[in-house]
Amino acid sequence: MTSLGGSPRAGRLVAAFVAVVSLATALGGAPAGGATSSCAPSPSAAQLSRLYTLRRGHPRILANPADFRRVRALTEQDATAARWREAVRREADALVGEPPTIYHKIGPRLQFFDYKKRVVALGMAWRLEGDRRYARQAQRELLAAARYPDWNPSHYLDTAEMTAATATGYSWVFDGLTRDARRTIRRAIVGKGLRTSLCQYARGVGPVHSTSNWGIVTNAGLAIGALAVGDTHPRLAATVLDGATASIRPALSAYGADGAYPEGPGYWRYATEHASKLVATLDAALGRDFGLASTPGFSRTGAYALHNVGPTGQVANFADTRPLLKSTAHLYWLARRFGRPVDAWLARRLAGRDGSPLHLLWYSPATMDPETAGVARARVFSRPQTAHLRGHWRKSATYVALKGGTNAVSHAQPELGSFVLDAGGRRWGVDLGLDDYNLPGYWDWSTRSRYYRVSTAGQNTLVIDGDEQPQSAYAPVTHLDRERGRSEAVVHLSDAYPAAASAQRGVALLDERDVLVQDEVVTGRPTWVYWTMHTRARIAISDDGKQAVLRRGGRRLVARILAPSDATARFTVASAARRAPEATNAGVSRLMVRTYTSARDARSASRLRLTVLLSPDALPETLPPVESLAAWR
């Protein structure tokens, strides 16, 4: 749509628009329900003009009536859409008559997750089925949340999530709500949500100015809330919308040119879900997104998820990430918005049969598998500095992902050089992921190593001289190559190990099947080095300690130490078990090599080249030669 800008005609139109909506406010939409902010909204004519194209009716959050008509038509033509529509109906039926969600906190967090899920399910069922039972239950949920004492501004993500969820329910169920209910819900969006942001935007401080996932989630939630009440509270909505669309840009720049996300795939999911919701809402409500969708890398960010998902369906769960990505309906939105059928292929694979209401809303039957699309099997992402190598795109493929980058980014763990490994439909090299965020000292880097999952020892990397990797460490992936039958990557780890003069790890995928992990370490004196791979497999070690056989789910992985060839390097098995309140790591073992750097003579530096071959089912007939990492390049 055409912007009205600052022309005289635009000024007259904006003035008329404000007069109309101010009358609507006086008749029943006056802001209330929260403390008055000293940072009063004072939008300019240009800022107010952004709301001139606001869709007058509802729904306009995430989708407009045409979008719901498209969904309804799809469910009559496509079996997947029809199945998901039935799942939404069953979910909504199960909610009818249930007590609404209550105000409940665990640690610093308001538990909004169930409320958010309920409101979206009931709203979708109401839009598709028109059954007033769903509207009445949604109204009970929305009114209960509106009467919460607050939306937990001390943990501002919760405020933003509650604002967005309530705005979605309000807009989707608008024509099924009573007039009094609409007024009460609007007052909550305004008082418990939008007004809490005004001083942050006015003074340039607070969570909305974060460049982490917080900056995306908080600004998206507030902008969505503003657009829900933009017709009844235009000055407030214009102020918040202007602040949110400006403040979110530095956080969106984290995607970088290739669409990767530095906080890992788990927080990629969280941030991208909310960025997608914001742009979808801007499109639906205003018909324009102020250039946010054109942020470099955003249109290609689905590729980051694609390469992070291994053949087993588990992700390369570096940083504070769980093994499975859930709630990835926004991949469908990315596919439709940017014409990327591979994103839709991944969305469908991750959803399986369990599509959510948002899967249904954004569903695209136009998919293309990565093999057909010619997607490369070897990839390095620049911002997180992760390398991903796979033999092919089938579920039985061998896949290895290698972690470089920095320990200084939000949600990082001291895991530079760590890897995960899939082969034959099993995950062999396991990343344990995050632990309970409420553990004492979990966020203090100087003491958090007491918790195994967020210590260097708890990763699939090296421990040198018993030291933790420092938070300031940076490890670039300095090499990626793909030749016939071989792909490889090398990460430079010297910064991660203060006891080492230099340290590097190379990972190679041979004949699309076998994985070679090679470490080269130089120290000033003989120094202990520990190599670890966490696994849920049963492990048997050969008598000479040079070979280990891992068994899981009827499949095997054979590990062989190729260098050093003498008795200084042998496999051992240790437990990863911990006591509560930490995660206990039940069923996880540590395949380890305990060795050391050594010198030829008293004047030489101490060196180690440790090479481990990991082969699905059996070792190859001819073992690969051991060459220096310098020769890999």
Q: Which residues contact 57 (CB under 8 A, 6 or more apart)?
A: 65, 174
Place of tokens 């009467």: 147
Q: What is the pLDDT of residue 601?
A: 75
Last residue of a domain, one of 252, 270, 303: 252
pLDDT confidence of 369, banded at 50, 70, 90? very high
Q: What is the pLDDT of residue 352?
A: 79
Last residue of a domain, one of 234, 252, 270: 252
Query: Is residue 230 assigned to a domain?
Result: yes
Q: Which residues contact 111 (CB under 8 A, 6 or more apart)?
A: 104, 105
Query: Is residue 471 assigned to a domain?
Result: yes
Structure tokens that stand for 231 in this block: 């017709």
Whole-model pTM: value is 0.92
Spacing of C-alpha 97 from chain mean position: 34
Ramachandran category for residue 36: left, alpha or beta (phi over 0 → left; psi -120 to 50 → alpha): beta
Query: Is residue 214 assigned to a domain?
Result: yes
| Separation CA 307–CA 290 (nearest Å) | 30
Query: Is residue 506 assigned to a domain?
Result: yes
Per-residue pLDDT of 542-580, as tens digits, reads 999 999 999 999 999 999 999 999 999 999 999 999 999
Query: Is residue 602 assigned to a domain?
Result: yes
Alpha-carbon distances, residue 52 vs 230, 244, 249, 491, 565 (angstroms): 10, 18, 23, 52, 74
CA angle, 222 as apex, 302 and 354 as ends, to 5°? 45
pLDDT cut 90: percent of the chain above it: 89
| Separation CA 162–CA 147 (nearest Å) | 12
pLDDT confidence of 19, banded at 50, 70, 90? very low
Mean pLDDT of the chain: 93
Structure tokens that stand for 446 in this block: 């100087």
Contact (Cβ atoms closer than 8 angstroms) between residue 590 and residue 576: yes
Per-residue pLDDT of 336-365, as tens digits, reads 999 999 999 999 999 977 789 999 999 999
Place of tokens 């060459």: 627
Query: Is residue 105 assigned to a domain?
Result: yes
Per-residue pLDDT of 581-590, as tens digits, reads 999 999 999 9
149: CATH: 1.50.10.100
Query: Is residue 524 assigned to a domain?
Result: yes
> Same domain for 238 and 386?
no
* DSSP letter, residue 36: P
If one counts the domains in the chain, the total is: 2
Ramachandran category for residue 456: left, alpha or beta (phi over 0 → left; psi -120 to 50 → alpha): alpha
pLDDT confidence of 602, banded at 50, 70, 90? confident
Which residue pairs from 470-474 have beta carbons closer than 8 angstroms and sit at least 24 positions apart in sequence? 470/407, 470/414, 470/495, 470/496, 470/498, 471/407, 471/408, 471/412, 471/414, 471/445, 472/407, 472/408, 473/406, 473/407, 473/408, 473/414, 473/416, 474/405, 474/406, 474/407, 474/408
Q: What is the pLDDT of residue 603?
A: 78
Task: Provide the residue range defining the domain that includes 598.
Answer: 378-632
Contact (Cβ atoms closer than 8 angstroms) between residue 182 and residue 139: no
| Separation CA 624–CA 626 (nearest Å) | 7
Query: Is residue 303 assigned to a domain?
Result: no
Q: Which residues contact 66 (CB under 8 A, 6 or more apart)?
A: none
408: CATH: 2.70.98.70
Q: Which residues contact 420 (CB under 8 A, 6 or more apart)?
A: 310, 314, 316, 317, 400, 401, 427, 429, 430, 431, 460
Closest C-alpha among 378, 301, 366, 295 to residue 336: 366
| Separation CA 511–CA 391 (nearest Å) | 8
Last residue of a domain, one of 223, 252, 281: 252
Q: What is the pLDDT of residue 34?
A: 37
pLDDT confidence of 23, banded at 50, 70, 90? very low
**HEC string for 461-520:** CEEECCCCCCCCCEECEEEEEEECCEEEEEEECHHHCCCCCEEEEEEEEECCCEEEEEEE
Per-residue pLDDT of 282-340, as tens digits, reads 999 999 999 999 999 999 999 999 999 999 999 999 999 999 998 899 999 999 999 99
**Mean per-residue pLDDT for 408-419?**
96
pLDDT confidence of 466, banded at 50, 70, 90? very high
> Same domain for 245 and 382?
no
